[in-house]
Amino acid sequence: MKNFSFLYLLIGIGVLVLLMQKVILPLVYEVVKSDAFLVDSKDQASQLPISNSMTDLAFLHCNNHIKDELGSDVTINFSPKPLNVWSLGNYQYVVNGEINITDSSSTSTKKYACRISYDNGDNTEGSNDPENWSVEGLDGIE
């Protein structure tokens, strides 16, 4: 039995490779070709930074979230405009901005990145309401 264990290992690996090539990958390719993950939205993704009314609101709501996170122990000054805002499509944005934080002992300038989503899709009537926005991530601010 010990003499054949290496042979069984090679046969097992061969069966797994064939199973992957002949069964699993064709199934995955069919799912990718389908519309199963298609999100139809008026908001298109962009690799370049953009600026429009929704990106301005995303910047504003990210700043309000940061104010709430840091509390009233520090003085916060935001830049008037974001450094960059990218649209990920389907009303999801990445906001890159700069903030001056002053506490009792020091002042520091930090850059941050905020990922935020507008939850109501193409219906932008409630875009001023902070309840319709979800901050999904914040980086650069402790």
**Is 95 within 8 Å of 122 (Cβ atoms)?**
no
CA atoms 15, 17, 22, 26: torsion sign = positive
Residue 122's pLDDT is what?
Answer: 82
Task: Give me 3's structure tokens.
Answer: 């003499």
**What is the extent of the structural domain holding 76?**
53-139
Residue 117's pLDDT is what?
Answer: 93
Residue 18's pLDDT is what?
Answer: 96
pTM: 0.71
C-alpha span between 27 and 34 (Å, rounded) = 11
Residue 37's pLDDT is what?
Answer: 73
- Report the phi/psi class of residue 128: left, alpha or beta, with left for phi > 0 and alpha for psi in -120 to 50: alpha
Residue 24's pLDDT is what?
Answer: 95
Q: Residue 36 in 3-state DSSP?
A: coil
- Tell whether 58 and 27 lie within a shared domain: no
C-alpha span between 58 and 94 (Å, rounded) = 8
- Tell whether 64 and 128 lie within a shared domain: yes
How many domains is the chain built from? 2
Residue 70's pLDDT is what?
Answer: 85
- Tell whether 64 and 132 lie within a shared domain: yes
Output the tens digit of pLDDT for each of the chain's 142 residues.
567 788 899 999 999 999 999 999 999 998 888 877 776 777 778 888 888 889 999 999 999 999 988 888 888 999 999 999 999 988 899 999 999 988 888 888 999 999 999 988 888 788 888 889 999 989 888 7
Residue 81's pLDDT is what?
Answer: 93
Residue 1's pLDDT is what?
Answer: 58
- Tell whether 68 and 17 lie within a shared domain: no
